[in-house]
Amino acid sequence: MGDEKKNDLKKVKELIELMLENDLVEVEIANGESKIHLKRPGHSQPQMPAVAPISVIAPAVPMPAVPAASAVHTQQPAQVKTEDNLVNITSPIVGTFYTAPSPDSEPYVKVGDHVTPDTVVCVVEAMKVMNEIKAETTGTIEKIMISNGQAVEFGQVLFKIKPD
């Protein structure tokens, strides 16, 4: 087996160990052109542990100014179950929160809407890039915590979801 392939396999093995240690269900790591996506079988609902961000292979050289991707791959928004048994969707980045894709469009979601993990619930704009934020959970929108055009910081609660 070539050295590069050996390294890749080593990385995958390490990732699997990390997943098991932290009881993670799904991991996706993107580093430039390459991407690794691992999913553990037997779990229908992603159950994220409270605030356990996966350490990304962060480049030693700072990242380029304008990422081309419109979806955020580098981090999974932490989902914490609050006391009232709701799940918080928090912002994975600093930026400006928008409820709709454009000023004239309908908002992505309203209170009472049902969402699935891939439902785009809002956009957080950072450095002219519109990052689509996905629900990452299945449930109903209970409360929208931020108003349209408001600045949000990393970890700020955007929505409260009542899980199914």
The pair of structure tokens assigned to 125 is: 């704009």
Q: Which of these ranges, 16-24, 99-107, 109-117, 149-157, lies near another protein under the rule CB under 8 A?
A: 149-157
Q: Which of these ranges, 18-26, 35-43, 52-60, 139-147, lies near another protein under the rule CB under 8 A?
A: 52-60
At position 99, the amino acid (one-letter code) is: T
Binding another protein by CB under 8 A: which of 33, 65, 112, 147? 65
CA distances from 65 to 6, 53, 74, 86, 128 (A): 32, 22, 15, 36, 10
Binding another protein by CB under 8 A: which of 155, 157, 162, 163? 155
User: What single string gives the DSSP state of each residue in 34-76?
Assistant: EEEEEE-TT-SS----TT-PPPP---SSPPPSS---SB--S-P
Decide: helix, strand or coil at residue 150: coil
Question: CB 164 → another protein: shortest distance, Å?
Answer: 28
Q: Which of these ranges, 29-37, 53-61, 112-120, 134-142, lies near another protein under the rule CB under 8 A?
A: 53-61
Q: Does 96 bind another protein (CB under 8 A)?
A: yes
Binding another protein by CB under 8 A: which of 14, 17, 23, 153? 153
Q: Does 67 bind another protein (CB under 8 A)?
A: yes
**CB atoms < 10 A from the CB of 124, how many?**
24
> Do 160 and 154 form a contact (C-beta atoms < 8 A)?
no
Residue ranges that bind another protein, judged by CB under 8 A? 51, 53, 55-56, 58, 60-63, 65, 67, 75, 93-96, 126-127, 151-156
